[in-house]
Amino acid sequence: MTTEPKYKSDVFKAIYTSANALFEVGAIDSTTLRNFDQSCLAVPVKNDHQQTKESTDENT
């Protein structure tokens, strides 16, 4: 079970949610998403975004 990350504000939550959706469809890479982690999250999460991306690529 994943806990809900803490965002710096509601605006950052909206920005991060959009960035995460772009990552999920392959429009941005994990490095870019990590930049959003640092910018938008109060405490950046320790997710392996690259592993998620690789899992997505294997399913296509």
**pLDDT tens digits for range 15-49:** 999 999 999 999 999 999 999 999 999 986 666 55
pTM tops 0.85: no
CB atoms within 10 A of CB 37: 20
Q: How far does CA 58 lie from the centroid of its chain?
A: 19
- As a whole number of angstroms, the distance between CA 54 and CA 60 comes to 10
Q: What is the DSSP letter of 7?
A: B
DSSP-assigned beta bridge partners for residue 41: 7
Burial label, 49 (beta-carbon count in 10 A; 0-12, 13-18, 19+): buried
Residue 5 binned pLDDT confidence (cut-offs 50, 70, 90): confident
